[in-house]
Amino acid sequence: MSFVTTDDGAEIFYKDWGPRDAQPIMFHHGWPLSSDDWDAQMLYFLGKGYRVVASDRRGHGRSSQIGTGHDMDHYASDASAVVEHLDLRNAVHIGHSTGGGQVARYVAKYGEPQGRVAKAVLVAAVPPLMVQTDANPEGTPISVFDGFREALAANRAEFFEAVASGPFYGFNREGVTLSQPVVDNWWRQGMTGSALAHYEGIKAFSETDQTEDLKAISVPVLVAQGDDDQIVPYKDASLKQAELLQNATLKIYEGYPHGMLTTHADVLNADILAFIQQ
């Protein structure tokens, strides 16, 4: 397996498939998953001739279960460590959920200043800010995230099963057929990671204000989200992202859930490809 060691000693696992001279696409996964969540996209874009790269966030998947740095700054610097190790240039960075926050911080702080980024894609992403504050009254109350922490600490396995079999993929909606293999794969990815990283990651994805990150990004960005996202409300996420970004293309999918990159991979993959090729 391939790893990059960061300045503070975290070992970051990554995949790197495809021609080294092809345009790279780097994928950034959501909480509490791993790069395996991008299987459908990596195989699709590999088949289209791209170089595809994805890493496991620190404390997630096969990356080391380091006890520190579970915050958006470290997530972005870890991504940069992989990019610089592989010397990726003219890259497209695609992030889902927490990974969308990671992309926004990486592109703003490292990717654009270093001239390494061509475009970005935010899929059901958490920026600019999830938690409800005086300045963000339409956000999600902190009590919801406290509930996540309480449930994770009490029984992580049970909590993860409930998330995957319920709101994440919209399996709790009337008329939607639950896919047990999809639930099992989500649970597998989550349980492979560190309980500490997942616990502290809740604060990272919910309380990090990324307004300035979004404002700083000038490359074209595709903003994509379903209007039935029960995890990250789209009116407080994608609609605001499109307003803050300098060069955004907004695409709202009727009835799609938070985990739409899995449930509707065929549609999402084609739309991302069209955006990249524009």
Active site residue 74: no
| Residue 273 exposed, middle or buried by CB count within 10 Å (0-12, 13-18, 19+) | middle
- Which residues contact residue 114 at a Cβ distance below 8 angstroms, ignoring those fewer than 6 apart? none
- List the one residue out of 74, 50, 73, 51 whose CA is nearest residue 63: 74
CA gap 144, 135 in Å, rounded: 18
Active site residue 229: yes
Q: Which candidate in 78, 229, 236, 238 is catalytic?
A: 229
Provide the sign of the torsion angle of the four alpha carbons 67, 73, 76, 79, taken in this order. Answer: negative
Asked, as a colleague might, if the bond just before 32 is cis with ω within 30 of 0, I would say yes
Q: Which candidate in 97, 165, 194, 238 is catalytic?
A: 97
Active site residue 8: no
Measured CA to CA in angstroms, residue 225 lies from 85, 177, 257, 258 at distances of 31, 21, 8, 7
Q: Work out whether strand 2-5 and strand 11-17 pair parallel, antiparallel, or are unpaired.
A: antiparallel
Distance of CA 36 to the CA centre of its chain: 12
Active site residues: 97, 229, 258
